[in-house]
């Protein structure tokens, strides 16, 4: 474990060192976030003060994570060892979903659609499906990953070809869940640090030291990012970061075979997504039953962190309490993985 903690620390320092000049470049390029002026008035008023804060901050942790991972795995990759081939999959997810998020961020700033909208949901989802399917195929065919671990069941179960659609669903779900969670300073980053740390411990206990090292590299790079993303944030991760984080976490969970524990370890991601699904279902019911979507409203605003903002919770309260929930989920997930 000492090696994993060391590379995580090094990555954190690299992220902090290059963070300030990187943010200055974002400001010079005018890559500031456009804030959507819709939702509960109390929430909108709080967030308008963040108008113009640099986005594309996902690059702040993606680049150091890539650099450190490539550096420590170069020999394995060049010699074609199984560990070298395996590490390419989460790296591909990090890069490809990061690029998709970057396009979305760019469209949100300079695109032709409504202010702050980015890519259309339909276009984004179609690209996500293609990327997720390609990664799922890469997990199954070249790497032969198709197992699932069930707590208290000693033998892992081979799902065969059924693994592929399940993997696609998990990648899509986790990527979009991370995107929903990225709405407050430090929220998505803190939740992701806990989740990657938990899977780093699980992978280490499984003997997958290369996967464990990658998880702690992600932890280190995210901690470096949080140095600049803590309230008041100097930079936002944007879709560049949130899309990449969710997809990469899903890949790590699938490769560890402990993906059934993902809803426990990433419990906040699940709560955020459920709140959006429930809210949209409520709106549809309101239109169908009363002809007024507002009569079907469940939360003051979704995702759920905005609901608590509308209830006048301070932003830091929400972030810390959601971090608390994440940490408990991670502890429970590791415990279940040991059964």
Residue 127 is assigned to a structural domain of this protein: yes
- Domain-located, residue 70: yes
- Domains of the chain: total: 1
Section 169-183 average pLDDT: 96
Contact yes or no for 69/217 (Cβ under 8 A):
yes
* 98 within domain boundaries: yes
Q: Is residue 208 included in any domain, yes or no?
A: yes
Four-residue CA torsion sign, 289, 292, 293, 296: negative
Residue-wise pLDDT for 81-129, tens only, equals: 888 889 999 999 999 999 999 999 988 887 655 555 678 889 999 999 9
Question: CA–CA separation, 228 vs 234, rounded Å?
Answer: 5
User: How many other CB atoms are there within 10 angstroms of residue 77's CB atom?
Assistant: 17
Q: Which two tokens stand for residue 67?
A: 């650099």
Tokens 């109390």, residue located: 42
Q: Residue 335: inside a domain, yes or no?
A: no
236: closest CA among 273, 302, 187, 171? Answer: 187
Nearest to 118 by CA among 68, 63, 55: 55
Domain that residue 152 falls in: 2-263
| 139-169 pLDDT tens trace | 999 999 999 999 989 899 999 999 999 999 9
Q: What is the pLDDT of residues 188-218, one digit of tens each?
A: 999 999 999 999 999 999 999 999 999 999 9
pLDDT of residue 36: 60
| Distance (Å, whole) CA 295 – CA 308 | 20
Answer whether 251's CB lies under 8 Å from 183's CB.
no
Q: What is the mean pLDDT of residues 10-31?
A: 93
Contact 152, 339 (CB under 8 A): yes
In-domain check, residue 119: yes
Structural domain includes residue 187? yes
pTM: 0.94
The answer to the question of residue 310 being in a domain is no
């Amino acid at each position: 474990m000492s090696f994993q903690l060391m590379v995580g620390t090094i990555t954190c320092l690299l992220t902090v060192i290059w963070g300030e000049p990187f943010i200055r470049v974002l400001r010079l390029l005018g890559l500031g976030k456009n804030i959507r002026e819709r939702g509960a008035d109390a929430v909108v008023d709080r967030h308008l003060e963040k108008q113009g804060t640099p986005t594309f901050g996902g690059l702040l942790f993606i680049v150091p994570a890539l650099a450190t991972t490539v550096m420590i795995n170069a020999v394995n990759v060049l010699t074609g060892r199984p560990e070298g081939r395996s590490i390419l999959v989460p790296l591909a997810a990090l890069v490809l979903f990061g690029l998709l998020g970057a396009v979305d961020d760019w469209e949100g700033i300079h695109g032709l659609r409504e202010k702050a909208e980015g890519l259309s949901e339909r276009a984004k989802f179609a690209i996500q499906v293609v990327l997720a399917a390609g990664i799922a195929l890469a997990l199954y065919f070249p790497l032969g990953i198709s197992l699932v671990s069930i707590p208290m069941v000693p033998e892992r179960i081979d799902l065969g070809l059924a693994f592929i659609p399940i993997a696609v669903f998990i990648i899509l779900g986790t990527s979009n869940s991370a995107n929903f969670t990225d709405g407050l300073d430090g929220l998505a980053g803190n939740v992701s640090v806990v989740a990657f740390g938990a899977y780093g411990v699980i992978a280490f206990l499984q003997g997958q030291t290369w996967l464990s090292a990658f998880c702690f590299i992600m932890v280190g790079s995210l901690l470096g990012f949080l140095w600049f993303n803590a309230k008041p944030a100097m930079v936002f991760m944007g879709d560049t970061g949130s899309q990449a984080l969710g997809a990469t976490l899903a890949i790590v969970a699938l490769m560890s075979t402990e993906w059934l524990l993902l809803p426990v370890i990433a419990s906040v991601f699940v709560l955020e997504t459920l709140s959006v699904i429930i809210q949209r279902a409520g709106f549809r019911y309101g239109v169908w039953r009363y002809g007024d979507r507002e009569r079907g409203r469940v939360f003051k605003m979704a995702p759920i962190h905005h609901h608590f903002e509308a209830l006048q919770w301070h932003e830091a309260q929400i972030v810390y309490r959601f971090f608390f929930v994440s940490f408990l989920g991670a502890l429970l997930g590791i415990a279940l993985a040991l059964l």
